[in-house]
Amino acid sequence: MQIINNYIDGDTVEIKSERFSDVFNPSTGKAIAKVGLSSDKEVDTAVASSKIAFEKWSKMTSLKRSRILNKFRILLEDNAEEMAYLISKEHGKVHSDALGEVTRGIEVVEFACGAPHLLKGEMTENVGTDIDSYSVRQPLGVVAGITPFNFPAMVPMWMFPMALACGNTFVLKPSERDPSVVMFYAKLMTKAGFPDGVFNVVQGDKVAVDRLLSHPDVSAISFVGSTPIAKYIYHTGALHGKRVQSLGGAKNHMVVMPDADMEGAVNGLMGAAYGSAGERCMAISVVVAVGEEIAEKLKKALKEQISKLKIGPGSDPEAEMGPLVTHQHLERVKEYIDSGIEQGAELVVDGRGYKSEKKDCEKGFFMGASLFDNVTPEMKIYKEEIFGPVLSMVRVNSFEEAVQLINSHEFGNGTTIYTRDGDSARSFSNSIQVGMVGVNIPIPVPMAFHSFGGWKASLFGVNHMHGIDGIRFYTRLKTITTRWPKGIRNDNEFIMPTM
């Protein structure tokens, strides 16, 4: 069986900790590889490599760094299909979705290629008599990323291209559930011309995470995952004096107003709720129907569309939804559905009994799409992030009630409203306490040149991912004030400079 190891100093390095985790193909339910779980010492080796590489990489001109990133971007585009195949094989998402993930990741690399412009500081001439002041942005040093299973290619690319463009070196700890795609593009980075040690990969579990959080030579940590872990990462990293950017969970709502384009709303909901089997931090898991009439229409239309949903392995070109990532997660999602029934929600469509009839997929981690109606805010299925193909409908009587419902939730990652009324859309956008907002857009994920991040319990730290916030996070600001004397002066000055 294939063993997946670390990538340090431009080459694969065997993990000698003798601890391993199985990597499954979710479509078949079979273990297809083992990934090594690094020890503290192996993490230290990667960090030491990146620390040495930082000395030269940080002094390289930003233009040269950008050119290497651009070569990497071209290699990513040339190998996008192969990367999508690896994602589908280990994560389970359908090929078209996996290819879309790669594309969104490449867009951040493309944005990072413009870092020479973004790294420019500010200058003010003559702030005092013959005194000038200017600012520069300088890299932090060795920085690390800890990334989730649901976007094994894209989320790492939210982090390291920005970090490298700014002159930092990077250590990545990917999810142990689907680690192969990261190893694939680590090799592409070496091919593109990144010096050894600039980008290192350490496989592992909590042992590796805790060592990165405590390591004295790691200056900053980026994380994406569940809120409980995000809190842990943020507090532990801060305790060790690190800059931390920690993105947590979500419970994203779509408000459907009485004047909405019903067909557009339903089509948007199908992809936003059930795409990637709901394993997205930006998945719409709650639809808020304003008025009984719109609720009944939504219920009928969604039930009909769910019956047509094509479920299959990621390799099936006709499949619209693949399996869940592990058997354990499949059982966890089923428990949420059980909870919804017990607490009084109406299960309109039950996906628990789905079994794939595809060859070799009988033991895959498949589940059908599920739909609940008459969900209320005190229910577990409303309060918690399920991370599966389960959509809950909440009925409200007014726009104001919808806004209050969303603002009262502990998460504030993404939300959207479907309406033809500009005043409602503007009021919603301005008053909603959520970091990313859509209007007639099912999944409001910003493009690479804007920044990604939520509010409330969906983000711990100040800076969002990529965009200009990525530059801010991976650099520290230095302001320099200068005066060049016109001649030799013998008088001493003890007062603060003033105008």
Mean pLDDT for the chain? 96
- Evaluate if residue 37 carries a pLDDT over 70: yes
The two three-digit tokens of residue 240, written as one number:
């060790």
How many residues appear in the chain?
499
What local confidence, expressed as pLDDT, does residue 485 receive?
82
Query: pLDDT of 408-431, one tens digit each?
Result: 999 999 999 999 999 999 999 999
Prediction pTM value: 0.94
Mean pLDDT of 433-445: 96
Indicate if the pLDDT at residue 495 is higher than 90.
no
Q: For residue 487, what pLDDT is reported?
A: 65
Mean predicted confidence (pLDDT) in 186-215: 98
| pLDDT band at residue 357 using 50, 70 and 90 as cut-offs | confident
206-214 vs 227-239: helix crossing angle, rounded to 10: 30
What is residue 499's predicted lDDT score, i.e. its pLDDT? 54
Handedness of CA 159, 429, 273, 457 (dihedral sign): positive
Residues above pLDDT 90, as percent of the chain: 93
pLDDT at 472 over 80: yes
Residue 55 has pLDDT above 70, yes or no: yes
Q: How far apart are CA 144 and CA 233, in angstroms?
A: 12
Q: 74 or 498: which carries more pLDDT confidence?
A: 74
pLDDT (0 to 100) of residue 486: 78
The answer, yes or no, to whether residue 95 has pLDDT greater than 70, is: yes
Q: Which domains does the chain have, with CATH numbers?
A: 2-248+458-480 (3.40.605.10), 252-439 (3.40.309.10)
In Å, what is the CA distance from 96 to each residue of 197, 231, 263, 276, 435? Answer: 33, 33, 23, 10, 27
The arithmetic mean of pLDDT across residues 64-81, rounded, is 98
State residue 489's pLDDT score. Answer: 60
What percent of the chain is predicted at pLDDT more than 70? 98
Residue 430 corresponds to which amino acid? N
What positions carry a catalytic annotation? 281
d(CA 88, CA 180): 11
| Dihedral sign of CA atoms 70, 75, 76, 78 in order | positive
SS (H, E, C) the chain: CEEECEEECCEEECCCCCCEEEEEECCCCEEEEEEECCCHHHHHHHHHHHHHHHHHHCCCCHHHHHHHHHHHHHHHHHCHHHHHHHHHHHHCCCHHHHHHHHHHHHHHHHHHCCHHHHCCCCEEEEEECCEEEEEEEEECCEEEEECCCCCCCHHHHHHHHHHHHCCCEEEEECCCCCCHHHHHHHHHHHHHCCCCCCEEECCCCHHHHHHHHHCCCEEEEEEECCHHHHHHHHHHHHHCCCEEEEECCCCEEEEECCCCCHHHHHHHHHHHHHHHHHCCCCCEEEEEEECHHHHHHHHHHHHHHHHCCCECCCCCCCCCECCCCCHHHHHHHHHHHHHHHHCCCEEEECCCCCCCCCCCCCCCCCCCCEEEECCCCCCHHHHCCCCCCEEEEEEECCHHHHHHHHHCCCEECEEEEECCCHHHHHHHHHHCCCCEEEECCCCCCCCCCCCECCEECCEECCCCECHHHHHHHCEEEEEEEEECCCCCCCCCCCCCCCC
What pLDDT sits at residue 1?
85
Strand partners, 169: 142
Residues 329-346 have a mean pLDDT of: 98
Cα 155 off chain centre by: 4
Residue 131 neighbours by CB under 8 Å, 6+ apart: 481, 482, 483, 497
The residue with tokens 């872990």 is 229
Whether the per-residue pLDDT at 245 is higher than 90: the answer is yes
Confidence of residue 242 (pLDDT cuts 50, 70, 90): very high
CA triple 289-295-296, angle to 5 deg: 175
Sort 314 into a burial class: Cβ within 10 Å, 0-12 / 13-18 / 19+. Answer: buried
One-letter amino acid for residue 318 of the chain: E
Q: Please state which of the ranges 252-256, 467-471, 491-495 shows the lowest mean pLDDT.
A: 491-495
Q: Which residue has the higher pLDDT, 335 or 485?
A: 335
In whole angstroms, what separates CA 229 from the centre of its chain?
14
Q: What are phi and psi of 347, to 5 degrees?
A: -85, 100
Euclidean distance between the first and the last CA atom of the chain, given in angstroms as a whole number: 73
> Residue 498: is its pLDDT beyond 80?
no
